[in-house]
Every structure is written in structure tokens, then in C-alpha cells.
Amino acid sequence: MPAPSKRKPTADPHRSLRGVTVENPFYSRAHAGDPTNPKHINAVVNIRESAITMLASRNKIDAAQVAAATKFRALWEAMGGKGASAIDYGREHVDGGKRSDPITERQMNAADELRRTRRVLGDNGYWLICRICGEGFSLHEVVQPGASKRAKLAAANDLRACLDKLAEMWGIATTRR
């Protein structure tokens, strides 16, 4: 059994929420000058939703790296499909009906793109990106239990390098620091 944490949980549930400025999803170019149609709006983001949002909120990764992580996550989720479905024995059997295709074209395209990312990143880089961007692990969960701070910083540097490779592969503009 692990030792109890010395940190006390915070009583304030809003500590994980942060105000950010994002592009307005309802922005219309036809009404560009209208004050009721702003290009950017204020929003509240849960920074503990994923490791990527946490790193982005602390300015540890740039917008291109966030876009690469988001694209990888979308491909990863597309590969998951709708999951296994149970057989409905109560449904009436009809002759002449078509069987649904178990694998969609979107899933095949996502698999091809993920295969391409694996070739670019290598096995270790792909494993790291899958755990953090695909499965939603945090950096602390990816490194060995009881690892040093140096190991965690190395994992964060490896993550940034892999995200840079993905952004370059997909043609997402990167800004150098």
C-alpha cells in the first residue's frame, strides 16, 4: 500500500479552472466589424483534463504542439470506434438487410496515419505520445514509480520533441523559442 500523500486536498474546486482567451466558434466573417461578433472570447478551461492542457496552461508547450497533440488524440479516438456492441437477441431478424461494415473508412485512414506517426517517432516516442495524448496519462504516471525529478523533466523534453516532430510531419506551423 502506498504511503499517504503529505499534500492535503484543496477545498477550493475552482483551482483547476483557468480563464483563457480562445477563438470564437460562432465568429462570422460576414459581420467582422460588429461588436456582438468578436473574433476571440473568454472561456474557462479545466487544466486537469489532460497533461497537454496542463502543460499548455503553464506555457511549457506552444500552440503548434497543442494542435499536434489534439490531432493525435482525434486519430487515436477514431481508431477506438464505437466499441464492442452486444448482440440483441430480442431484435427481429429481417432477411435482405445489409451487414454493417465492422471497420469504417475513417478508422482505416486513422490507422494509416497512426502507422505513419509510429515510423516518424520510433517505438519509444510513439509509446510516450500514445500514453499521454491518446490514453490521457500524466507525466508522473508515465515515468517509473519513485523516479527522480530529472527523469520527469527528461520525459517532458521527450514529449515536446515528439510533438515538434508530429507538428512538422502534419505541416502545423511551429514557433521556435
pLDDT in tens, 14-68: 567 877 787 888 888 888 888 888 888 888 877 777 888 888 888 889 989 999 9
Grid-cell match 456492441, residue found: 85
Helix or strand or coil: residue 75?
Answer: helix
Which pLDDT belongs to residue 9? 57
**Cα 157–chain centre separation:** 17
Which pLDDT belongs to residue 88? 64
**pTM (whole model) above 0.85:** no
CB 158 within 8 A of CB 166: no
Q: Does residue 159 register a pLDDT over 90?
A: yes
CA dist 167 and 63 (Å) reads 10
**In the beta sheet, which residues pair with residue 43?**
20
